[in-house]
Amino acid sequence: MQRRLWAFPVLVLLAASMPAALAEDEWDDYNGRGMTALKDGKYSEAEKLFLSARKEGEKSGARYGHYATSLLNLGQVYDKMDKVAEAEKVYKEALAIYEKSYGASSPEDAKALQGLADTYRHHNKYNEAVPLYQRALKIRDLTGATHPDTAETLNGLGESLRKQGKNFEAVPMFKRSLDIRKETFGSTHSKVAKSLDNLSATYAAMGKYDMALPVYKDLLSARQANNGVEDPKVAQVLEDLAYACSKTDKPKKADGYFKQALAIREKQAKADPAALNTCLKRYAEFLKANDRKDEATKMEARITGAGGATAAGGKSTAVAGGAKAAPGKGTTK
């Protein structure tokens, strides 16, 4: 009889734990499928799955766990769907939960701050993004100054500052991000390329082409390693490298880089005629500046269609002045 009395509370305990276990399994399923949909660009589907995951997460009662994670995931989806108000709401709710549960300087706080800052940046709200990135960076520096997440925060802050015209302040952000990513991923990783791209563009915007040159060269190596030697992104770096050489009294090297860029653009002419026109225009301007007017005239004669008249209107990120246009919405989503 005594054994039966002991067995009864055990059975009750097991029965009580079953709904929680089922909720855990349901959350894992919804969240996993939501992440797959998000990665595949199926944002409406991802939203529905993450809403279901949030509902399951709420059943646990521990809102700082699966429930708050679902909020962060919803924030990413709403960002992608351009639903800024909805993203703002879920990120702020997650942040309030984390601050109440862990205090104001936890890694979880930094995740929510970063997500909200990224949303603002992606939608050109740089004044709102900067202070959030700065708050996140303070936390990141305390919890892992050389962690890849810190590099993400630095990169977002740098881009936001650059968009505000604060290039001098952006430079150290991009340099720190670059150092962390190189140490973590190696010198040719795509994230390293992104930091190199941002740093070179910032130097170019400041007119510091002598400082931009070595960064462009590293970026060229990274792009070639990641994308292949005939990719449009490689051609873009070659064009910018050529322009930087022309600005630092290296005309022979500039000519060589323009030729390499043009060869790639010609192979991609059907896919992107505007980019070819832009390359021809930049090359022609270089030839004129170096007293090679006959060659420049022949180059200009090859410019076709509206893209020749307004080269900056094409798909290429180059602008008439030679420096790259700053990355737009979605660059680091």
pLDDT digits (tens, 9 = 90+) for 82-132: 999 999 999 999 999 999 999 999 999 999 999 999 999 999 999 999 999
Question: Nearest Cα to 236, choosing from 193, 279, 196?
Answer: 279
Angle CA(296)–CA(302)–CA(306) in degrees, nearest 5?
A: 115
Q: Is the pLDDT of residue 319 over 90?
A: no
Q: Quickly list H helices, the chain.
A: 2-39, 43-59, 68-80, 84-102, 107-122, 126-144, 148-163, 167-185, 190-205, 209-227, 232-247, 251-267, 273-289, 293-301, 305-309
Distance CA 236, CA 230 (A): 11
- Both tokens assigned to 268: 């991609």
Residue 322 banded pLDDT, cuts 50, 70, 90: very low
3-state secondary structure of 175: helix
Class of domain 21-145: mainly alpha
For 297-308, write each residue's pLDDT tens digit. Answer: 999 999 986 444
Q: What is the pLDDT of residues 225-276, one digit of tens each?
A: 999 999 999 999 999 999 999 999 999 999 999 999 999 999 999 999 999 9
Distance CA 278, CA 150 (A): 36
Which one, of 289, 264, 284, lies nearest residue 275 by Cα? 264
- Looking at residue 20, its pLDDT comes to 53
At 324, is the secondary structure helix, strand, or coil? strand
Residue 59 has pLDDT above 90, yes or no: no
